[in-house]
Amino acid sequence: MDILEKLERGERIGYEEGIALYDLDLFTLGKYADRRRKGLYGRKSFFNINRHINPTNVCKEICKFCAFSAHRKNPNPYTMSHDEILGLVEESYRRGVKELHIVSAHNDRVGLDWYMGIFRKIKERFPDLHIKALTAAEVNFLAKEHRLEFDEVLDMMIESGVDSMPGGGAEIFDEGIRAQICKGKVSSEEWLQIHRLWHRRGRKSNATMLFGHIEGRAERIDHMLRLRQLQDETGGFNAFIPLIYQRENNYLKVEEFVTGQEYLKTIAIARILLDNIPHIKAYWATSTLNLALVAQEFGADDLDGTIERESIQSAAGAESRNGLPVEQLVGLIRESGFIPVERDSLYNEIKVWE
Ligand code: V47
């Protein structure tokens, strides 16, 4: 069957067809992605009030794209104490932050209790704050470092108060590309298995894709389809988040950077291919705000949030160091023709910002 006919009928798209979608013109793709997005959410666009905390940048891994971990180009190692972290949480809580997004480097100089203990302390003091923490890459690191099964680390996370898992560490699942950009880190199979086990506990997570570096379109489609397959099995992914590679202060040599058009096509294709993942996030920190706002018309229904104090991508040039005041985010969503809906971390609607 012709691919346009399949799109018209809303049928599932396979690998070869997925690659062929990139050859359609942007507006044809956008029409089908927007139709699906509007069918699900109308003109609503979701966001939350969140804060990032990156408690340490001391890292065992050497990912070529990373500008955050302490290395030759960024020789300033730090590790926060629990009291320091609690101070940041307290101040954010008072200002209305509802979700903490906590991601660390893989620090082998602090113990397991440094990683888990902070969640326990945060939950004791602020039980209604949602803790989204520990990527599958961190879970894999902690399991290997402390000779534990993934199951054991995941159970500890739940006991310590982690509510959901962020989507980081997925990068690109293709093993060949992975070996070139993040050799030695969590494998694709391990990443997927950790999320599978987390979902089996009735918990939700997200999935990212780092693109616009040395991968090609085929590897992006492969990445999305591996996620779709797991989602068919578990239903545990809330959101898919394509992250545009940021080029500063790292060791990955990239010849050509993604264009705005390629980003919008990737968002649209994600909406079309990932027919079982409810939310497609335009993550403004790596796409720029302008493009994230346009992405709302190409399949994206979620703009992440206020993203205060993000350090990983801003180290490589992203615009997220200081976050965005909620009034500004809401104003931009409204002025771009959408209805700003504040959500909680599990996508329950909290407030429609009139
Ligand atoms: O996995 C590292 C990425 C990720 C660079 O779950 C880079 O809601 C671009 O997990 N250029 C961590 N990206 C961030 C993350 C995340 C972000 C937003 C939302 C959610 C969510 C999760 O940051 C890493 C890696 O892929 N990253 N370096 C870089 N130079």
Distance CA 108, CA 73 (A): 20
Higher-confidence position of 206 and 311: 206
Residue 349 lies in a domain: no
88 Cβ partners below 8 Å, 6+ apart?
51, 53, 309
Q: pLDDT tens digits for 124-153? A: 999 999 999 999 999 999 999 999 999 999
**pLDDT > 70: percent of the chain:** 99
- Radius of gyration over alpha carbons of the chain, in Å? 19
Question: Could you give phi then psi for residue 316, rounded to 5 degrees?
Answer: -105, 10
Distance CA 287, CA 112 (A): 34
Is pLDDT at 322 greater than 80 in this prediction? no
Taking CA atoms only, the protein residue closest to ligand 1 atom 21 is 166
Residue 12 lies in a domain: no
Give me ligand 1 centre to Cα 313, in Å.
Answer: 6
Please state the domain count of the chain: 1
- Per-residue tokens: 8: 């018209």
- Residue 236 to residues 79, 161, 274, Cα–Cα distance (Å): 32, 18, 13
Residue 352 lies in a domain: no
Can you list the alpha helix ranges (DSSP code H) found in 76-216?
Answer: 82-94, 112-125, 136-145, 150-160, 175-181, 188-200
Average pLDDT over residues 321-343: 92
58 Cβ partners below 8 Å, 6+ apart?
69, 70, 77, 78, 79, 105, 107, 109
- Residue 171 to residues 85, 150, 244, Cα–Cα distance (Å): 27, 20, 10
Burial class (CB in 10 A: 0-12, 13-18, 19+), 248: exposed
Give me ligand 1 centre to Cα 342, in Å.
Answer: 22
Taking CA atoms only, the protein residue closest to ligand 1 atom 14 is 168
Residue 115 lies in a domain: yes
Indicate the pLDDT class of residue 253, thresholds 50, 70 and 90. confident
**Ligand 1 atom closest to 244 (CA):** 9
SS3 per residue for 100-130: EEECCCCCCCCCHHHHHHHHHHHHHHCCCCE
Q: pLDDT tens digits for 16-73? A: 999 999 999 999 999 999 999 999 999 999 999 999 999 999 999 989 999 899 977 7
* Amino acid in the structure at residue 136: A
Residue 28 lies in a domain: yes
328 Cβ partners below 8 Å, 6+ apart?
none
Pair type for strands 237-244 and 302-305? unpaired
Residue 350 lies in a domain: no
Q: pTM for the whole thing?
A: 0.97
Is pLDDT at 308 greater than 80 in this prediction? no
- Residue 170 to residues 27, 189, 271, Cα–Cα distance (Å): 29, 10, 18
Question: Could you give phi then psi for residue 302, rounded to 5 degrees?
Answer: -140, 135
Residue 354 lies in a domain: no
Question: Could you give phi then psi for residue 53, rounded to 5 degrees?
Answer: -130, 130
Taking CA atoms only, the protein residue closest to ligand 1 atom 15 is 168
Give me ligand 1 centre to Cα 12, in Å.
Answer: 28
Burial class (CB in 10 A: 0-12, 13-18, 19+), 12: exposed
**Ligand 1 atom closest to 210 (CA):** 26
Distance CA 321, CA 30 (A): 31
Q: Give the distance from CA 70 to its chain's centroid.
A: 22
Average pLDDT over residues 161-186: 97
Contact (CB, 8 A) for 351 and 340: no
Is pLDDT at 164 greater than 70 in this prediction? yes
Give me ligand 1 centre to Cα 124, in Å.
Answer: 28
Pocket perturbation via mutation, ligand 1, pick of 62, 103, 208 by most ligand atoms within 8 A of CB? 208
Contact (CB, 8 A) for 213 and 259: no
Q: Please give the pLDDT value at position 306.
A: 87
Pair type for strands 237-244 and 279-280? parallel
Taking CA atoms only, the protein residue closest to ligand 1 atom 9 is 245
Q: pLDDT tens digits for 85-136? A: 999 999 999 989 999 999 999 999 999 999 999 999 999 999 999 999 999 9
Give me ligand 1 centre to Cα 11, in Å.
Answer: 31
Residue 346 lies in a domain: no
Longest dimension (CA), the chain: 61
**Ligand 1 atom closest to 168 (CA):** 10
Q: Which domain holds residue 294?
A: 3-7+17-340
DSSP 8-state symbol, 68: S
**Ligand 1 atom closest to 248 (CA):** 30
Q: What is the CATH number of the domain that holds 308?
A: 3.20.20.70
Give me ligand 1 centre to Cα 214, in Å.
Answer: 16
Is pLDDT at 320 greater than 70 in this prediction? no
**pLDDT > 90: percent of the chain:** 84
Range scoring the smallest mean pLDDT among 80-84, 105-109, 180-184, 251-255: 251-255
Is pLDDT at 1 greater than 70 in this prediction? no
Taking CA atoms only, the protein residue closest to ligand 1 atom 28 is 66
Residues within 6 Å of ligand 1 by CB: 65-67, 103, 135, 166-169, 171, 206, 208, 210, 241, 243, 245-246, 250, 283, 286, 304, 312-313, 316
Tokens 């939700």 locate to 204
CB atoms within 10 A of CB 223: 26
